[in-house]
């Protein structure tokens, strides 16, 4: 087993500190910022000597990561240390410590010495940690007093501006439900909400025991639950059983004096594939909302602010002047920048962006956001694939980062970074494109390898799982079918052995070309494993999927592949559909002697 430590932790600074502790024990280390990335690293490198993980990981939560790891035959000797801010998740992990093979279980508030001791005890196979809840009655009293002081709970209808805000947040993150909640004594109260069932909207709240936001308040950190229906803490929650909450992500509303009022959260009925950058964007929005709540009374009036220093000039800036100032500030920057107003409307751009994109500045200022994305995609070697990436970024979150390889007006690698911020009327975004220099960004190279298959140019399994979950959720909401075609190159091993890997590479690229041609957007093709491809067909029923599957085999030249088509059934989750497809594929695959393959 390779002697290395894997740190699964979304926060960069905490991950670096935990990695340093593992390195002090003589282990090489690597960091994964979410559960799916951790799984991919284990697939590539084998099970680690030590896994240090949070339980509230994006994309694949810590419980699911541990269960998956313990199912691997090479992971029996892996030591596991869990560090989390959430009391009830820690208690449940303590109860499951034997099944999940947990050796150390610590609160996020534990000091450096306790963390170091936890690493050492885990490596020695000794149990360390506690299941005790960390309650602070004085802190809770101060928190509730602050809610009263700010007059945040009122009997009238939800504030119109806050309602518009949560609607923008739901749209930005591609989910049906967004909430601005306050956690009171025995109840969570919805200060603003969008997408709730009528009964909950009328009640404007739930018991605190049902509230996911209660955990965010207790832990004082953002929390994500990618799939609540499978989660050992949340699967029996009444909101989950009733199909209202299938997944959750929330960030705390922290005041300037440190109290946590509640949370800003997004909810879907399907698995939620938000990444670490999405959570960072949600935290940023929650911080801005908390500032706004502190400034405004329950009656919509601005709260008094500290007196201006005597003798100092009092700045007065109207809305028009403020907008003009934003445009001037953007124009003055030498970094390519675009400000996008609510509703995806470009507001201000600069000459640096025009130069990077090879556009006259006056033309850039008149473009729609969609035409800008199309122009950027046309500058790459794969316009269709790049546009799908940009569309996915727009659907998933306005906080997503992408690395793009431009070929025109000259070759360069750029980083597409979008950050959301609140403005009157909704959520805007600041978009910047940074020239990284070809070959200079190792992290960017690593991310591309994880997200795009180098041989075929198709999405990797990691990206495919994200997109598949989103498309199934979207089609269910719109009443559309979803079908999959799974293809296996059964003769690839023999081809590699008899004619060499170059011949095998050619067949893989040809199959990728055919698969992509059969999957017009929103469909997509994925290199699922070394010799297996997945075709996702949103909107296609079983008849259409079978016809497309047959077209794959009717193309010129023998590919030596077998395939099956399946359609998502009812409320079946993506994992269940894929399991049926794999089982069906196994039944039609001929017996053959294994040969060298492509991984």
pLDDT, tens digit, for every residue of 304-317? 444 444 554 544 55
The closest of 103, 160, 122 to 22, measured between CA atoms, is 122
Tell me, which fold does domain 138-299 have in CATH? Answer: Beta-Lactamase (3.30.450)
Whether the ω angle into residue 269 lies within 30 degrees of 0, i.e. cis, is no
Q: Which residues make beta-bridge pairs with 84? A: 107
**Confidence (pLDDT) at 443:** 43
Burial of 439 (0-12, 13-18, 19+ CB in 10 A): exposed
Is 436's pLDDT higher than 80? no
Is residue 168 within 8 A of residue 426, CB to CB? The reply is yes
Give mean pLDDT, residues 58-80.
Answer: 93
Tell me which of 342-346, 362-366, 437-441, 534-538 is least confident.
437-441
Q: Where are the alpha helices (DSSP H) in 25-134?
A: 35-45, 62-70, 87-95, 97-100, 112-123
Q: Does domain 335-443 have CATH number 3.40.50.300?
A: no
Give mean pLDDT, residues 495-521.
Answer: 84
Is 16's pLDDT higher than 50? yes
**Confidence (pLDDT) at 302:** 47
Q: Which residues of 350-373 are buried (b: 16+ CB within 10 A; e: fewer)?
A: bebbbebbebeeeebbebebeebb
The closest of 112, 57, 68, 62 to 92, measured between CA atoms, is 62
Pairing of strands 247-254, 260-268: antiparallel
Q: Rounded to whole angstroms, how far apart are CA atoms 176 and 248?
A: 11
Structure tokens at 155: 């009997």
Q: Rounded to whole angstroms, how far apart are CA atoms 253 and 216?
A: 9
Is residue 457 within 8 A of residue 405, CB to CB? The reply is no
First-to-final CA distance of the chain: 19
Torsion angles phi and psi, residue 19, rounded to 5:
-65, -40
Give mean pLDDT, residues 44-55.
Answer: 94
Whether the ω angle into residue 522 lies within 30 degrees of 0, i.e. cis, is yes
Is 336's pLDDT higher than 70? yes
Structural Rg of the chain based on CA atoms: 26
Give mean pLDDT, residues 402-424.
Answer: 77
Q: Rounded to whole angstroms, how far apart are CA atoms 462 and 445?
A: 16
Q: Is the dihedral of CA 315, 320, 321, 323 positive or negative?
A: positive
Give the C-alpha distances (Å, rounded to integers) separating 275 from 173, 282, 432, 562. 11, 11, 19, 34
Give mean pLDDT, residues 133-149.
Answer: 80
Per-residue three-class SS string for 535-552? EEEECCCHHHHHHHHHHH
The closest of 585, 377, 574 to 474, measured between CA atoms, is 574
Q: Rounded to whole angstroms, how far apart are CA atoms 342 and 24?
A: 48
DSSP structure class, residue 73: G
Structure tokens at 209: 């025991």
Give the C-alpha distances (Å, rounded to integers) separating 315 from 216, 217, 309, 312, 453. 38, 37, 12, 9, 54
Sorting pLDDT into bands at 50, 70 and 90, what band is 499? confident
The kind and range of the H/E element at 378 are helix 369-378
Specify the residue for token string 């028009």.
320
Is 568's pLDDT higher than 80? yes
Q: Rounded to whole angstroms, how far apart are CA atoms 397 and 302?
A: 31
Give mean pLDDT, residues 508-515.
Answer: 89
Domain ranges (residues) in the chain: 4-124, 138-299, 335-443, 452-588
Domains 138-299 and 335-443 share a fold: yes
* Residue range 152-195, pLDDT digits in tens: 888 778 888 888 888 888 877 878 999 999 999 889 999 999 99
**Confidence (pLDDT) at 304:** 47
Burial of 211 (0-12, 13-18, 19+ CB in 10 A): buried
Of 3.30.70.270, 3.40.50.2300, 3.40.640.10, 3.40.630.30, the CATH number of 452-588 is 3.30.70.270
Sorting pLDDT into bands at 50, 70 and 90, what band is 397? very low
At the fourth CATH level, the homologous superfamily of domain 4-124 is Response regulator (3.40.50.2300)
Give mean pLDDT, residues 39-45.
Answer: 91
- What value does the mean pLDDT of the chain take? 82
Give mean pLDDT, residues 10-18.
Answer: 86
Contacts for 556 with CB less than 8 Å, ≥ 6 apart: none
Specify the residue for token string 């994992």.
575
Tell me which of 198-207, 478-487, 586-595 is least confident.
586-595
Structure tokens at 437: 């220099």
Higher per-residue pLDDT: 335 or 212: 212
What is 123-148 written as a DSSP string?
HTT--EE-------HHHHHHHHHHHH
Q: Rounded to whole angstroms, how far apart are CA atoms 144 and 141?
A: 5
Q: Rounded to whole angstroms, how far apart are CA atoms 365 and 354?
A: 9
């Amino acid at each position: 087993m390779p002697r290395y430590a894997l740190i699964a932790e979304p926060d960069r600074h905490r991950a670096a500190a935990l990695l340093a502790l593992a390195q002090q024990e003589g282990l090489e280390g690597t960091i994964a910022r979410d559960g799916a990335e951790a799984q991919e690293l284990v697939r590539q490198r084998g099970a680690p000597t030590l896994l240090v993980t949070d339980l509230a990981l994006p994309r694949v939560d810590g419980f699911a990561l541990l269960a998956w790891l313990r199912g691997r035959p090479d992971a029996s000797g892996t030591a596991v240390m869990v560090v989390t801010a959430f009391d009830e998740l820690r208690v449940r992990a303590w109860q499951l410590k034997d099944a999940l093979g947990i050796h150390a279980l610590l609160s996020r508030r534990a000091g450096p010495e306790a963390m170091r001791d936890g690493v050492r005890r885990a490596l020695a196979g000794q149990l360390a940690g506690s299941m005790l809840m960390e309650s602070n009655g004085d802190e809770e009293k101060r928190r509730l007093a602050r809610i009263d002081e700010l007059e945040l709970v009122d009997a009238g209808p939800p504030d119109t501006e806050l309602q518009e805000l949560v609607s923008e947040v739901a749209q930005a993150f591609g989910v049906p439900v967004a909430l601005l909640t306050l956690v009171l004594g025995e109840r969570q109260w919805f200060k603003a909400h969008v997408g709730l069932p009528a009964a909950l909207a009328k009640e404007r709240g739930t018991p605190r025991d049902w509230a996911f936001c209660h955990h965010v308040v207790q832990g004082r950190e953002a929390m994500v639950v990618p799939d609540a229906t499978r989660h050992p803490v949340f699967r029996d929650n009444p909101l989950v059983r009733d199909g209202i909450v299938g997944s959750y992500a929330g960030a705390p509303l922290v005041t300037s004096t440190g109290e946590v009022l509640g949370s800003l959260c997004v909810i879907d009925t399907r698995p939620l594939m938000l990444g670490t950058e999405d959570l960072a964007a949600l935290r940023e929005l929650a911080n801005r909302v908390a500032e706004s709540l502190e400034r405004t009374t329950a009656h919509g009036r601005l709260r008094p602010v500290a007196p201006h220093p005597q003798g100092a000039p009092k700045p007065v800036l109207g809305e028009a002047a403020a907008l003009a100032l934003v445009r001037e500030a953007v124009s003055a920057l030498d970094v390519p920048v675009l400000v996008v107003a609510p509703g995806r409307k470009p507001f201000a751009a600069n000459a640096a962006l025009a130069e990077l994109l090879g556009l006259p500045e006056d033309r850039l200022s008149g473009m729609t956001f969609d035409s800008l994305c199309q122009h950027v995609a046309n500058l790459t070697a794969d316009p269709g694939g790049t546009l799908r990436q940009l569309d996915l970024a727009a659907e998933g979150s306005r906080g997503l980062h992408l690395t793009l390889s431009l070929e025109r007006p000259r070759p360069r690698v750029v980083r597409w970074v979008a950050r959301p911020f609140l403005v009157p009327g909704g959520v805007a975004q600041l978009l910047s494109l940074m020239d990284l220099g070809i070959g200079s960004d190792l992290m960017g190279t690593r991310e591309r390898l994880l997200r795009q298959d180098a041989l075929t140019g198709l999405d990797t399994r990691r990206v495919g799982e994200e997109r598949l979950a989103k498309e199934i959720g979207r089609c269910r909401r719109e009443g559309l079918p979803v079908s999959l075609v799974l293809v296996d190159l059964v003769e690839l091993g023999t081809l590699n052995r008899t004619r060499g890997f170059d011949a095998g590479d050619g067949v893989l690229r040809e199959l990728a070309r055919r698969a992509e041609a059969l999957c017009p957007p929103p469909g997509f093709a994925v290199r699922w494993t070394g010799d297996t491809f997945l075709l996702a067909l949103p909107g296609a029923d079983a008849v259409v999927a079978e016809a497309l599957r047959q077209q794959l085999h009717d193309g010129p030249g023998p590919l030596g592949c077998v395939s099956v088509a399946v359609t998502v059934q009812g409320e079946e989750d993506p994992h269940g559909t894929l399991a049926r497809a794999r089982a069906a594929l196994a039944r039609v695959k001929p017996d053959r002697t294994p040969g060298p393959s492509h991984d």
